[in-house]
Chains A and B, each alone.
Chain A
Amino acid sequence: MRLDAGPVLRTLRRQPAVFTMLVLEIAAGVATLTALLLSASWYGLIGAQHSSFDEENLLLVSSYTPGGDEAALVASQRADLARLRAIPGVEAASSVSLSILDARWIYPALFKSPDSKRRAVGWPAFTDDAAPRTLGLHAIAGTLPPDAGGDDGGAAREAYMTICLAKALFGSPANAIGRFVESDQNVPVRVRAVVQNATMRIPFMPHAGCVLFIAGGAPVGHEAQVYVRTAPGARDTVQTRVRDAFAGEARRRWIDVRSLDTTDSQHVRVGHGLAAFLSIIGALVGVNAQLGALAATSFLVAQRRRQIGIRRALGATKADIVAYFLVESGFTMLAGSLLGLGGTVLLFLMMRPFFQGLAVDVGAIAAGLVLFWSATIAATLVPALSAARVPPSVASRSL
C-alpha cells in the first residue's frame, strides 16, 4: 500500500470550492461537538459535587408549620429542636437556614465589610452555636463558639465564614478574624472564625461554597431546617425514630425527614442528566455531519470511477485506492480540525461567563476529536471500499 500525497493534493487543488466547504463543515462540527462535550463535562462536575460534610451520619429534617402567630412559630421550632436533640442516637442538632438539598432558586447576598473595600457574593446561613459540632466544622483560623447546649435563638450574635468567603473579602482567613461583615440579608456581625469550605446551596448557584454562618438572627418563618448528627452508623435507625416522633403531626404540619445524601439530590440528577443529554446532542451533531459527508463523498467517488479504473489498470492495488481516499480525507480532517480547534477556543471564551469555573478539559476536547475522526474515517471507508472494487476495465469504457 502506497501513501502518496501528490495525487491527493492535485485533486484538492482541482476542486477548491468543494474542499473548502468540507473543511469549514468539519471545523464547525468539531467546534460544536467539543463545546457540547465541554459543557457536558461541566455539568458532570456539578453532578459530582457533595456538601463536604460527613453525610454518612447526617439527617435533614425540614418542616413547614402553618399559622400566622409568629411567637407560636418560634416556640414550635425551638420545641422541635429540643425534641430532636432528645431522641436516642442523636449526637447534635442545629437549625440551619440553608441546605444543598434545597433546589429552589434563591438569590445570594452581596457581603461587604467596613474593614475592606472588597465585596463578595455568598450565602448567609442562619444557625446556632451547636452548628460546628453538628456539621463537623473545624476552625482554620480563630475559634468557634462553644456549644453551651442552651437556648441559642435570638438576635444575631457573631459569625464564622468559609475560607472561600474569607479570601474573597479579606484576602486570607487570618485577616478575617475580628472583622465585621454585613449584607442586604443580615445585620453587621463580627467574624470569630474561618472554617473549611462547605457547599450549602445547590452547586448550580454561584459561589455555593462561600458561606457566612451567623449564630442567631434567623428570620422567623413557616419553614425550618434542622441538621441532625447521629451516632456513627445509626443514621437509618435515627431516621426511623425521628419519623415516628413526628408522625402524629402529619395532619397539622408538613415534615420531611431524609438523610443528607447528595447522591440522591436534584443537582446530581440534573447535572448527570444534562451531561448525558448534551453528550447525546453532541453525538447527533456528529452523526449529522458524517452522514452529510458520506453522501457528498459518495458522489466524489462516483465522479472518479474512470480515474480509479486507470490507476487500477496501471497497477494500483485495492489497498492503494482505499489509502488514496483516506489520505484525502486525512488532509481535509486535519485542516478542518485545526480550524475547528480555533472555533473551540472562541466558543470556550463565550462559555466562561455562563459556566462558572469552566476549565479546559483536554479529555473532552480529545474525545470530540477522536469521535469526529473515527466517524469521518468510517464515512470515508464506505465509498472508498466501493471505489476499491472498481475493476481496471472501467478505464476503457468511456474511451
Chain B
Amino acid sequence: MRLFGYHVGLAWRSLRRDPVVSAIMLVALALGNGVWWMSLAEYVRFSAWDIPLAPTLHQAELLRPRDASAVFADGARDNPYLAPRAIQERTQVSYPELQRLQASAAPVRQSAGFRAEVVVRGPDGGGAVKIARFTNRAFFSMFARPFSAGGPWPEDADAGGAGVVVLGRATGRALFPRGGAVGQTITIEGRPFRVVGVLAEYQPLNAPWQLLIIGGSEDALFLPLADFDALGVWPDQPLLHTPPESDSRSALLRSDARFVVSWVDLPTPAHVEAYRRDLDRSFGPGGYVLRSLAEWRRAFAMPTSQLSFFSFLAVIVLVGGVFTLVRFLFTKGLTRGAELGVYRALGAPRGSIFARTWAEGMLLGVPAAVLGPLAAQPTCWIFNHYVRLVDMPLEVTAFPVFVGIAISIAATALGLLYPAWRLSRATPTVYLGMG
C-alpha cells in the first residue's frame, strides 16, 4: 500500500509518454460509458429502484376463479405485449373489493388509488384533459413523494368536499411557471380546488403504486378519493373481466372491473396477523395472497421488454469498452516488452509490473467512468426533445450517476486484472530477448 503512490506515478508517466493516444483512449471509453449510463438511467427511471420504500408495506392479491379472460393472464407471461396487463390484473382490485379491503382497521396506514381523466383549467382559463390520481393523504408518505412546495392535504380532507388538490411536478410547472402555486385556485371539472402542494419529482414509469402504466403520462394531479363520486368522473382504463351489466358508471363501479390499487402498512407481525384475520373473514382463507414489499417485488418483477433488450446492448457496450482498454494495455505492454524486461532484470517484482499496469488502466478507466454521465448529456437532450415518449423527461439524478459510475469502475478494475497478470508473468530473459 505504501508503494501505491509510486506505482500510480509510474503509470501516469507511461500515459503521458503518448498523450494523444491516451486522450483518444479516454474519449473512446467515455463515449462507451455515456451509452451505458444513458441506458442505465432510463432503466432506473422505469423501475423506480431509487425510491426508498418502507419494507413494511404489504399488498393483498385477491385470487379469483378462472373467468372469461383468465387465458389472457395464463399465456401472458411469455408475451411482452400482454405481460403488463397480466400483472395489472393481479395487482388491481375492483371497486367493491376495495370497500371490503378498507373495512380492516389492522393497518397503521392504508393507501388506495386509481386514475381518472379530468378537465383542468388553470389561472389563465385554458383547459386541458389531465390524468388525476384519486387517493388519500397516506399515499404521499407511503410512497415517499417529496414536495417542492406545500404538502399533502390535511387528514380531514380525506373525507371529501374540502376542495384541495396536489399538483404533479409537470402540471405545477405548466400551470404556474413562475411558482407560487400553493394557495392558488384551479378549476377541476368546473369546480374550484385550492392547491395545497406541488410534488418535487417526476414519477417513475413503472410506479410501485400502480405498476406498468407504461407509455402513459404521469399522475398530473392528486385528489382525495372521496371526491371521486362527487365529481362523477370515470376510472381510467378499467380492466374489464366480464362486460358490465349496462354502460353506466354505476354499473362499472359495481362490476368486477379492476382499476384500484390498494396498499397497507403492517409494521409488526401482530399487525400482519390481525390483517390476515380480517382478510380471512372478507375473502375466505386461501382467497388471497398477502405479500410484503420484498415478496411483491419478486412476484411482480418488471416483464422483459424493448427496454430490457436495449439495457442488454448497453451491457455489451460496457463490456466492449473494458475489452478495448484491456487490449490497449496488453498491446502497449507487448510493444514495451524490452523496457519491462529491463525493469524486471533490475529487480522489480512481478507485483510491481502488475500494479503499474493495473494503475495505468485505472487512470484511464476512472476518469472515463466519471465522464460517462457528462458524455451522455447530448444524447439525453436529443431523447427528451425529439423522442419524448411521455411527459416525464430523462433526468440526471444522483442514483443512476452513482450506480453507473460504480459499476463501470468495478468492471474496469476486474477487466484490468488480465493484462496486469499476463504482463507480470513473463520472465526478464524473455523480455530481454525481444530487445
Contacts and interface: CB of A to CB of B under 8 A. Distances in A.
Q: Do A and B come from one complex?
A: yes
Interface of A: 15, 17-18, 21-22, 24-25, 28-29, 31-32, 35-36, 39, 64, 66-70, 103-108, 110, 119, 121, 184-187, 204-206, 217-223, 250-254, 269-270, 273-274, 276-277, 280-281, 284-285, 287-289, 291-296, 298-300, 302-303, 347, 350-351, 353-356
23 contacts: A17-B422, A64-B129, A66-B119, A68-B231, A106-B237, A107-B85, A184-B243, A250-B127, A251-B125, A252-B190, A285-B320, A289-B320, A291-B28, A292-B325, A292-B327, A295-B25, A295-B28, A296-B332, A300-B331, A351-B309, A353-B304, A354-B304, A354-B305
Interface string B237-249: 1011111000111
A253 B119 contact: yes
A277 B379 contact: yes
Given A64-B129, A105-B213, A21 B326 contact: yes
Contact of A273 (B71, B125, B388): B388
Which are the 4 A-B pairs with shortest beta-carbon distances? Answer: A68-B232, A292-B324, A291-B28, A105-B215
A105 B214 contact: yes
Interface in B352-384: 379, 382-383
A119 B71 contact: yes
A121 B86 CA distance: 14
Given A67-B189, A350-B312, 11 more contacts: A24-B323, A105-B216, A187-B243, A223-B117, A250-B127, A251-B125, A273-B386, A284-B35, A291-B31, A292-B328, A300-B335
A94 B386 CA distance: 34
A277 B27 contact: no
A70 B249 CA distance: 8
B239 A281 contact: no
Interface residues of B, number: 84
Given A29-B320, A295-B21, A222 B387 contact: no
A15 B331 CA distance: 9
Nearest to A68: B232
A105 B206 CA distance: 13
B9 interface: no
B382 A299 contact: no
B190 to A, nearest CB: 5
A291 B215 CA distance: 36
A284 B119 contact: no
B327 A22 contact: yes
A184 B304 contact: no
A204 B309 CA distance: 16
B43 interface: no
Interface in B279-338: 304-306, 308-310, 312-313, 316-317, 319-321, 323-328, 330-332, 334-335
A275 to B, nearest CB: 10
Given A36-B313, A277-B383, A184 B28 contact: no
Contacts of A302: 335
B382 A280 contact: yes
Contacts of B248: 70, 220
A356 B213 contact: no
B128 interface: yes
Contact of A110 (B32, B69, B326, B331): B69
Interface string B205-225: 000000001111000000000
B426 interface: no
B233 interface: yes
Nearest to A252: B190
Contacts of B320: 25, 28-29, 32, 285, 288-289
A285 to B, nearest CB: 6
Contacts of B129: 64, 254
Contacts, number: 207
Contacts of A287: 28, 31
B337 to A, nearest CB: 9
Contact of B335 (A22, A39, A303): A303
A296 B249 contact: no
A288 B215 contact: no
B34 A284 contact: yes
B379 A273 contact: no
Contacts of B399: none
Contacts of B49: none
B24 A222 contact: no
B388 to A, nearest CB: 7
B219 to A, nearest CB: 14
A24 B82 CA distance: 37
Given A121-B82, A273-B386, A299-B335, A285 B328 contact: no
Contact of A298 (B21, B27, B319): B21
A106 B379 CA distance: 29
A299 B21 contact: yes
A185 B240 contact: yes
A184 B82 contact: no
B111 to A, nearest CB: 23
B317 A32 contact: yes
B388 A18 contact: no
B144 interface: no
B331 A291 contact: no
Interface in B1-53: 18, 21-22, 24-25, 27-29, 31-32, 34-35, 38
A25 B324 contact: yes
Contacts of A204: 215
A66 B213 contact: no
Contacts of B386: 269, 273, 276-277
Nearest to B81: A206
B63 interface: no
A216 B316 CA distance: 52
**Most chain B Cβ neighbours within 10 Å, of A221, A274, A289, A295:** A295
Interface in B120-136: 125, 127-129
B234 interface: yes
A205 B334 CA distance: 54
A21 B330 contact: yes
B216 A284 contact: no
A104 B327 contact: no
Nearest to A281: B35
Contacts of B119: 64, 66, 253-254
Nearest to A65: B119
A68 B327 contact: no
A291 B243 contact: no
Contacts of A296: 324, 327-328, 331-332
Nearest to B234: A221
Contacts of B326: 21
Contacts of A187: 243
Interface string B386-423: 11110000000000000000000000000000000010
A17 B426 CA distance: 14
B313 A219 contact: no
B81 A299 contact: no
B349 interface: no
B334 A303 contact: yes
Contacts of A107: 84-85, 88, 237, 239
A67 B237 CA distance: 19
Contact of A270 (B312, B331, B335, B387): B387
B67 to A, nearest CB: 9
Contacts of B313: 32, 35-36, 347
Nearest to A383: B21
A269 B387 CA distance: 7
A268 B300 CA distance: 32
Q: Which of B78, B319, B331, B334 has the most CB of A within 10 A?
A: B331
